[in-house]
């Protein structure tokens, strides 16, 4: 089965063709990073306009890469949410038009579901149940994957997403956008033990995250140095900040995986490309007898392939959409507690 999948939830215009939920026939991504970098973050209006300008071109390139024509596709999938509403609507309406014109089934996919499904593309032997850590610019979730598309929410951020915290600290230090790669690179030149930033664990046995406190702690530290006229070693600040964040995330996800009784943990989302997170999770996983899986870097960022992988398993369950499908910016992940 061949699914054409569209992803436009934020600042990547992506179209992919996925076969049987596991094989990538095409995965084309047009990134807007260079456009938004001058503004220090994604400008929703500009992102939406860029999607409109590029989506036809990206679709045609994906079809060329796959060697298929539109008539050879079996279904059309599109990210329904969460994301920027204007950006989502470009993809949703484009997908609806294609499905209607081709008389093909339409599948609306949750973006977070897609991040988890990226691991099915990276590891064709992977099957539920397992644990998943989703860490990106907009999401920080710990979920138990009970079956394809069926989850139990174990923990999530109560304020900033982890990637958002990286972006804000990077901006404070004078680095560019997106902040994650800059913090990662600077940290490799700094001393992670130079500054002790707070580790926020919240209540006992809580698997939720909170990253607003450490963001404020970094800002306060920099303000204090400035008032005293002291030099700021940006690499040390970046390394110490990153270490504090990674330590909390690793401790919580390793504990959750053990408590839930799983031996496999998958990591997904843009922050899954962070070298320190990969290093620490792999090390702690080995100590605890856990298999920790990271998808290829190309599947960590937003992409159509992950949407196509998730859509395949929805199709098998006849979980289809109609032409009333709409973009939902705050769409929640469907879990066993809120199935609809």
HEC per residue, 102-153: HCCCEEEEEHHHHHHHHHHHHCCCCCCCEEEEEECCCCEEEEEEEECCEEEE
- What pLDDT shows up at residue 338? 52
Q: 317-339 pLDDT, tens per residue? A: 999 999 999 999 999 988 887 54
Rounded Cα–Cα distance for residues 59 and 139 (Å): 27
- What pLDDT shows up at residue 340? 33
Assigned CATH for 129-294: 3.30.420.40
Q: What residues contact 166, with CB distance under 8 A and at least 6 apart?
A: 178, 179, 180, 183, 242, 245, 271
Mean pLDDT, residues 237-245 taken together: 97
Residue 243: pLDDT above 80? yes
> How does residue 232 score in pLDDT terms, banded at 50, 70 and 90?
very high
**Cis bond before residue 82 (omega within 30° of 0):** yes
At the fourth CATH level, the homologous superfamily of domain 2-116+299-316 is ATPase, nucleotide binding domain (3.30.420.40)
- What pLDDT shows up at residue 144? 97
- What pLDDT shows up at residue 221? 96
Residue 134: pLDDT above 60? yes
Closest CA to 278 of 289, 288, 291, 293: 293
Mean pLDDT, residues 270-276 taken together: 94
Residue 174: pLDDT above 70? yes
Residue 64 has, within 13 A of its CA and on its CB side, a CA count of 7
Note the pTM of the prediction, 2 decimals: 0.93
- What pLDDT shows up at residue 112? 94
> How does residue 40 score in pLDDT terms, banded at 50, 70 and 90?
confident
Query: Do the domains spanning 2-116+299-316 and 129-294 agree at the CATH topology level?
Result: yes
The structural domains of the chain, with segments of one domain joined by +, span 2-116+299-316, 129-294
Q: 180-219 pLDDT, tens per residue? A: 999 999 999 999 999 999 999 999 889 999 999 999 999 9
Mean pLDDT of all residues belonging to the chain: 95
């Amino acid at each position: 089965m061949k699914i054409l999948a569209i992803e436009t939830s934020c600042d990547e215009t992506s179209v992919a063709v996925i076969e049987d939920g596991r094989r990538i026939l095409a995965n084309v991504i047009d990134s807007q990073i260079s456009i938004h970098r001058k503004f220090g973050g994604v400008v929703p209006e500009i992102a939406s306009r860029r999607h409109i300008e590029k989506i036809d071109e990206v679709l045609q390139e994906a079809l060329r890469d796959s060697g298929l024509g539109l008539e050879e596709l079996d279904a059309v999938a599109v990210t329904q949410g969460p994301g920027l509403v204007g950006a989502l609507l470009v993809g949703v309406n484009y997908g609806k038009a294609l499905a209607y014109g081709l008389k093909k089934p339409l599948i609306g996919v949750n973006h977070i579901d897609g991040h988890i499904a990226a691991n099915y593309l990276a590891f064709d032997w992977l099957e539920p149940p397992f644990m998943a850590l989703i860490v990106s610019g907009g999401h920080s979730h710990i979920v138990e994957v009970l079956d394809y598309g069926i989850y139990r929410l174990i923990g999530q951020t109560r304020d900033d997403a982890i990637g958002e915290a990286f972006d804000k600290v990077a901006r404070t230090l004078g680095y560019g956008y997106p902040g994650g790669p800059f913090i990662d690179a600077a940290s490799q030149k700094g001393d992670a033990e130079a500054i002790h930033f707070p580790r926020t664990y919240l209540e006992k046995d809580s698997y939720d995250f909170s990253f607003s406190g450490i963001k404020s702690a970094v800002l306060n530290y920099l303000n204090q140095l400035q008032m005293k006229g002291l030099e700021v070693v940006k690499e040390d600040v970046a390394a110490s900040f990153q270490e504090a964040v990674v330590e909390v995330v690793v401790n919580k996800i390793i504990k959750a995986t053990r408590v839930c009784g799983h031996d496999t943990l998958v990591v997904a989302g843009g922050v899954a490309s962070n070298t320190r997170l990969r290093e620490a999770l792999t090390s702690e996983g080995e100590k605890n007898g856990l298999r920790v899986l990271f998808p290829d870097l190309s599947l960590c960022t937003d992409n159509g392939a992950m949407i196509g992988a998730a859509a395949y398993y929805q199709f098998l369950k006849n979980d289809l959409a109609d032409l009333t499908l709409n973009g939902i910016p705050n769409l929640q992940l469907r879990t066993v507690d809120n199935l609809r």
